Chains A and B, each alone.
Chain A
Amino acid sequence: MSETILEVQKLKKYFPIKGGILNQTTAEVQAVDVIDFVVARGETLGIVGESGCGKSTTARLLMQLIKHDDGEIIFDGYAVGKSGGITTREMRKRMQMVFQDSYSSLNPRLPVESSIAFGPIVHGVNKSAAQKKARDLLIKVGLNPELFSRRYPHELSGGQRQRVNIARALALEPEVLILDEAVSALDKSVEAQVLNLLMDLKAEFKLTFIFISHDLNVVHYISDRVLVMYLGRVVEIGDVSAVYNYPKHPYTRALISAMPSMDPKKRTEAVPLVGDPPNPISPPSGCRFRTRCPFSEDICAIKEPILIHTDLKKRQSSACHMGDPDSGHSRTNLNGLPK
């Protein structure tokens, strides 16, 4: 059993945009543009970033719901979909996903029990055993099977549905759970309950979480490490305490300074993010953040800052020229910047 459960190498996905009479590719959305990261067994890796930065695409690539253009996914030491590795089907049994929209992720024509039992049945468990499993899981997610197992999705509240979705994801006894904005659509109080449920389940089933959210507070609360994405790239990754307290990348700084905080001492004077991110069809050359970065210099347009962070012992890395003394940027001592 290795310490690393998941390793992503040079993962890339461009979505073609079709047009014209011949329906040919006229442009490409650079949704995920070569990202690398590792996930340690038993940790919660948070993924944050503005809407449209490629978080969901990353999740779908990991689950192989969409095919990557390039790169490799290595699950527990085995390359996925490669000879000598493991098949997509084997990987999916060990890694499951919870989607954002609790309603559209349940079949409206099936009672929730059948939705939960579907996965085990697909993997050869007989029907009655799968149903028993579904009922046991309903208890685990805090829903009384006597009341809920025969109900249809539209009869449940958003929080209850998301509990069902969590039960469904756990039905295959996965080791890794990807949660793509799984609590984002819920009311604050329900969100807190479901988050606590997730933490309990994580401890009980020794799960590894990949927790995707645009909400930095929630990610701070639940994650051990955090990965910050911007326009299809990883701009910063590291331990939550390091990244939140000492953000190195100007984008991370801007995100964190924009976080609503109750503590007046924590309110910063750092420049908030202005405007929208550039179009992922034609992203800026070099550093993708440079068009919104207050410290942008010529070098930023020419040279692309690289981030490769595969050593789990390293606390923090960022993809910014200011963090690299040899980059040619005039400010290379990031920590000296006003926070």
Chain B
Amino acid sequence: MSTLSTNSSKNLDAGQIITDSPSYWSSVRSNLKNDPVTIAFALILLSLLLSAIFADLLAPLDPYKTNMLKRLKPIGTEGFLLGADELGRDMLTRLIYGGRLSLLMGISPVVAALLIGGLLGLTAGFVGGKVNMSIMRVMDVFYAFPSVLLAIAISGALGAGIFNAIISLTIVFIPPIARVTESVTTQIRALDYVEAARASGAKSLTIIRVHIISNVAGPVFVYSTSLISVSIILSSGLSFLGLGTEPPQPEWGLMLNTLRQSIYVNPWVAALPGVMIFLTSLSFNMMSDGIRSAMDIKL
């Protein structure tokens, strides 16, 4: 036993710090700094967001003003930088204004679903047992449908309109967010630090607040960001089908639909709203991927 009773136990580690490693968040920050692709897409998103917010200042013309003489003018026409649509409205103006509704309809369902689905998943994961079973079985029923069909079906049942489209997309995104939250929560709940917190006599709500949410938030948040890209496409799709916004409101999906007939006359102008949808969706996707790898999250 002599090997065990070596020198005194106190102050042995006091001076040694194995590595002067940075804290978690500063290492995430430096990972992001070294990732130009993610930064580029984040900047694109930022400019899209700002141009939607400040559309009144940026847009050259009135988005509702029709001009029969300018119908379907090509890109680069004098005074109509990106051409004009089938009613002679300025495309650039309508694309800028269109960002407002498209982003609103793309982002708000995910935010709402994050709140509701996150709460459901957290509850299911933390409580476990029968509560988990009942919540997750209901989620599975919704999850079994392809999201496009589900969105169309619910929107169709609720009727056209922005608000109804947002509700239907929220319902579409609750199950996947709840699932991810549930699986991360279940994983974390079983860790020893949660056991230790319970052993210290903390109530469940305190444990969730201090120990669970801080560790579940990252992965769930990153996952939700990746859903925004899907949501942008789905909401445009609903508008395209006449289930979201209604004419003459500028919205990318709806614009794509009304320009559809002109595709042989002026394909470049007709494709512009699609480009915007694609660019926005891609940017959200790339950004969430970049953040995920910077945070080293495995889903």
- What residues of chain A have their CB less than 8 Å away from a CB belonging to chain B? 23, 60, 63, 65, 88-89, 92-93, 96-97, 99, 101, 104-110, 115, 118-119, 122-123, 142-144, 147, 151-152, 154-157, 159-160, 163, 165, 168-169, 171-172, 188-189, 191-197, 199-200, 217-218, 220-221
Contacts and interface: CB of A to CB of B under 8 A. Distances in A.
Interface in B11-46: 11-19, 21, 23-24
A221 B12 contact: no
Given A109-B214, A142-B11, A196 B196 contact: no
A189 B14 contact: no
By secondary structure, the B interface counts as loop
B17 A193 contact: no
Interface in B268-299: none
Q: Which among B193, B202, B203 has the greatest number of chain A C-beta atoms within 10 A?
A: B193
Given A65-B195, A196-B5, A157 B201 contact: no
A172 B200 contact: yes
Given A99-B195, A107-B193, A220-B1, 7 more contacts: A65-B198, A93-B201, A105-B192, A108-B24, A142-B12, A159-B13, A168-B200
B4 interface: yes
Given A107-B211, A147-B17, A195-B4, A142 B197 contact: no
Contacts of A60: 195
A217 to B, nearest CB: 7
Contacts of A88: 201
B249 interface: no
A65 B199 contact: yes
Contacts of A92: 199-201
Contacts of A108: 24, 215
Nearest to A102: B192
Contacts of A196: 4-6, 8-9
Nearest to B20: A155
Contacts of B17: 147, 151, 155
By secondary structure, the A interface counts as helix
B206 interface: yes
B13 A99 contact: no
Nearest to A168: B196
Given A143-B14, A189-B6, A193-B9, A217 B196 contact: no
Contact of B201 (A109, A119, A195, A199): A119
Contacts of B23: 152, 155
Nearest to A195: B4
Contact of B10 (A104, A105, A200): A200
Contacts of A218: 4
A106 B193 contact: yes
Contacts of B210: 107, 110, 118
Contacts of A99: 192, 195-196
Contacts of B133: 23
Contacts of A143: 13-14
B1 to A, nearest CB: 5
Contact of B24 (A105, A118, A152): A152
Contacts of A65: 195, 198-199
B196 A97 contact: yes
A218 B19 CA distance: 30
Contact of A142 (B4, B9, B18, B198): B9
Interface in B122-147: 133
Contact of A109 (B3, B6, B24, B199): B24
A144 to B, nearest CB: 4
Contacts of A159: 13
6 contacts: A60-B195, A92-B199, A142-B13, A154-B21, A168-B196, A197-B9
Contacts of B24: 108-109, 152, 154
A-B pairs, top 7 by smallest CB distance, nearest first, are A196-B9, A105-B192, A119-B200, A197-B9, A144-B14, A99-B192, A109-B214
